[in-house]
Amino acid sequence: MNRVILTFHSTHDAIATERVLAEHAIVFQVLPTPVEISADCGIALMVGVPEGKRCLSLLSDYHMSIGFTAAQEAGYNLEILGSFVDC
């Protein structure tokens, strides 16, 4: 299943984003930031692709540094498909 992983420069940005997503009833999964994506903040959030697009517009008002990465949950493994947006 295709997914979008949101990564952050700071833990506080990650937690602030969790609150925004919860307020907008966007379902997400907290996971450790996969090392192949980023060595920044250790907390990443994973959402579905449509939700990822929604996050992009929602979070643009918050002036946070957020990375968006495409991934695939294949069986019990997370396969990173590559970063497609970095804002």
Partner 1 sequence: MNTIIDATGKACPIPFMLAKKQIDAGQSSFTVLVDNRAAVENLKRLAASQDYDTTVDEDNSNFHVHFQGKKEVVKPEGMLEASAPARRVVYISRDTMGFGAEELGKNLLRMFLYTLSQDTELPESIVMLNSGISLATKDQQTIKTLQVLSDRGVEILVCGTCLDYYGLLDKLAVGSVCTMYDIEQRLLRADTVISP
Summarize as ranges the residues that interact with partner 1 (CB under 8 A). Answer: 11, 14-15, 18, 27-32, 42-43, 76-78
Between 36 and 60, name the residue whose CB sits nearer to partner 1: 36
Q: How far is the CB of 38 from partner 1 (least distance, A)?
A: 14
Beta sheet of 43-48, edge-to-edge order: 29-32, 43-48, 2-8, 66-74, 77-86
Q: How far is the CB of 63 from partner 1 (least distance, A)?
A: 21
Between 29 and 65, name the residue whose CB sits nearer to partner 1: 29
What Cα–Cα distance (Å) separates residue 72 from each residue in 12, 24, 28, 48, 75? 26, 24, 15, 10, 9
Q: How far is the CB of 41 from partner 1 (least distance, A)?
A: 11
**Gap between the Cα atoms of 41 and 24, Å rounded:** 23
